[in-house]
Chains A and B, each alone.
Chain A
Amino acid sequence: MPGLANTVKGLWSLIVGLGVTGVEFFRPQLTVHYPRKEVDNLATYRGHIDLVARDDDPLTPRCIVCRKCVAACPSGCIAIESRLVGVEPSGDARELSLAPGLIVTGSHAAPPPRQKIRREVASFNLNYNLCSLCGLCVQTCPVDSLAFSREVYLCGSSRADFEFELLERLRRRAAAGGQRAA
């Protein structure tokens, strides 16, 4: 009888299922008991961004305040305040050269010599409340001044707790021995 064969097959499937859960009962647990243990694969985890220090000066970030990260960020998380360090001419004086058909009336002046404007970071504000960890800022930076931190176990009680000033964090890290905050 096909009906009986089906019933027996069905009952056997139930027993097989019980066997599976029975075997799994005795297998070791997969839970990592935080905080007694922590997961071991945080090396690649994207925490919030942090400034990277210069090789020769652990207290100064590499940032040249080009603000490419500010433009690249989809959420507008980054706000940089800068300070002018110096302006130096980086070339000879330039001559005025206009197109041949133009009539010189006398009020044009020669362009100023090219200048190299150096700025440094006065404060680098990250509003982590808005960040989506896309990494566009890290990739856009021409001097590799930004990198992801490993701040996994963050907690706070208000939004202000997640507004970071990254220059201060860099200085604190440098003071604490130059290791990246875990």
Chain B
Amino acid sequence: MGFNWLSEPRGDYYTRHFVPTPEAEGDRLILNLGPQHPSTHGVLRVVVEMDGEYILKAEPVLGYIHRMQEKMGEVKTWRQYLPNMGRVDYLHALAWNWAYVGAVEKLAGIEVPPRAEYIRVITCELNRISSHLLWWGAYLLDLGAFTPILYAFADRERIMDILQMVTGSRLTYCYYRFGGVSADLGESFIQATREFLKHFKTRIPMFHDLVTGNMILRGRCEQIGVLPLEMARRYGATGPVLRGSGLAYDTRRAEPYSVYPGLEFRVPVGVNGDAMDRYDVRLAEMSQSIAIIEQALEIMPDGPHLNPDVHERLKPPPGEVYYAVEGGRGKIGVHLISDGGPKPYRVKLRSPSFCNLQLFAELAQGTLLADAVSILGSLDLVIPEIDR
């Protein structure tokens, strides 16, 4: 038969229109990684052309979880859109909450009481720790270590229990409101947070012992997926992906919002831009989040947790606004256009994983398949955020 089963693509549009590398010799294999992925990135599909174990070309295919979040922004009222933000990136839901609520507050000129700002900082940083913990566990699961994800989840359970006390939810929080937060922190929350931070400080050394120094892990992460700074800039990468390549760009410092200017914390930065650097940056960020939460708990003032003057059927004046916060994956941006009505005219969500994923096609060229998986894990992608 003249039909070469191994390298003729059959299948859907993307498979049939995949352009193989023209100058490659030898037997080439065209495979799909996903969209049903064993690892927890989400529904990502990558069409890969391989020569033996080496990847010649990788093409991500998106859209498997497009949920029309931006369209929903146009048909729901300003307040009704709040639960959507928790679902865009469910791992760092509070950061997306903050981006939207901050944008509307900026547009409508709503003041946020200081206590509410500190509450937002504390809860968002707790959520950042839990997001990074899940990334850590899932990354190691990709690399074949089955235990660290359960240790990470044990700590995540504690964070989820703490956040449940005040938000009522464990994952998709809808906690921030225009002009503050929906419920005040009680004494039990503060107590539980302090206990958790004390406990978590003993866990981070254990994570380092088990994994970070491990010879096998270093072999899988060092010198893998080296991202030069100019390439990161070209693709608009943000977050630990950019900081791993040496640039200390953190939205909390570069475009300060809320009470972050008054809080002391360092921005961890890598040197080489390989997967190990991104790993180290994220683990260091967890420690910095602990420091931020402790400071915020100390200096949080008393007062109202919600601005009572916000109208129920909010109608911000016509105009455009862009508001950015630092999420676990990078810079989260919300661009709102209002026409003065009860519903937004346009909601544009800038998701950090979208730009970080673009890097993958270029980074994965010429690497081994196992290395490509390691690179994908180190980029910390959440596909629902990419597809929105």
Contacts and interface: CB of A to CB of B under 8 A. Distances in A.
Interface in A8-46: 9-11, 13-14, 16-17, 19-21, 24, 30, 41, 44-46
Contacts of A133: 83, 168-169, 174
Interface residues of A, number: 28
A74 B214 contact: no
Interface string B129-158: 000000000000000000100010010010
A17 B209 contact: yes
Contacts of B166: 44
Nearest to A14: B215
Interface of A: 9-11, 13-14, 16-17, 19-21, 24, 30, 41, 44-46, 68, 72-74, 132-136, 139-140, 148
A13 B161 CA distance: 33
B210 A135 contact: no
Given A14-B215, A14-B216, A44-B165, A136 B209 contact: no
A135 B168 contact: yes
A33 B161 CA distance: 17
Interface string B74-94: 001001111110010000000
B168 A13 contact: no
Bin the interface of chain B by size: 20 to 34
Nearest to B211: A17
B98 to A, nearest CB: 16
Given A13-B213, A16-B209, A73-B80, A44 B168 contact: yes
Given A10-B215, A46-B169, A140 B312 contact: yes
Nearest to B162: A41
A14 B182 contact: no
B80 A72 contact: yes
Contacts of A10: 215, 218
5 contacts: A10-B215, A17-B209, A17-B210, A21-B210, A134-B82
The 4 closest A-B pairs by CB, nearest first: A10-B215, A46-B168, A74-B80, A134-B83
Contacts of B147: 21, 24
Chain B interface main SS type = helix
A45 B168 CA distance: 5
Contacts of B263: none
Given A10-B215, A44-B168, A133-B83, 12 more contacts: A13-B214, A13-B215, A17-B214, A20-B206, A20-B209, A41-B161, A74-B80, A74-B84, A132-B87, A133-B168, A135-B168, A136-B174
Contacts of B81: 74
A154 to B, nearest CB: 15
B164 interface: yes
Contacts of A135: 168, 174, 182
Nearest to B164: A44
B79 A72 contact: yes
Chain A interface main SS type = helix
Contact of A139 (B84, B182, B216, B218): B182
Contacts, number: 72
B147 to A, nearest CB: 6
Contacts of B211: 17
Contacts of A24: 147, 151
Contacts of A45: 164, 168
Nearest to A142: B312
A20 B210 contact: yes
B143 to A, nearest CB: 13
Given A17-B209, A20-B209, A24-B151, A136 B80 contact: yes
A136 B56 CA distance: 51
Nearest to B157: A30
A70 to B, nearest CB: 12
Contacts of A13: 213-215
A41 B80 contact: no
A20 B202 CA distance: 13
A16 B79 contact: no
Interface string B153-191: 010010001001110110010100100001000000000
Given A20-B210, A140-B312, A41 B182 contact: no
A133 B5 CA distance: 50
Nearest to A139: B182
A11 B209 contact: no
Contacts of B169: 46, 133
Most buried by B among A24, A30, A44, A45: A44
A140 B172 CA distance: 20
A13 B172 CA distance: 38
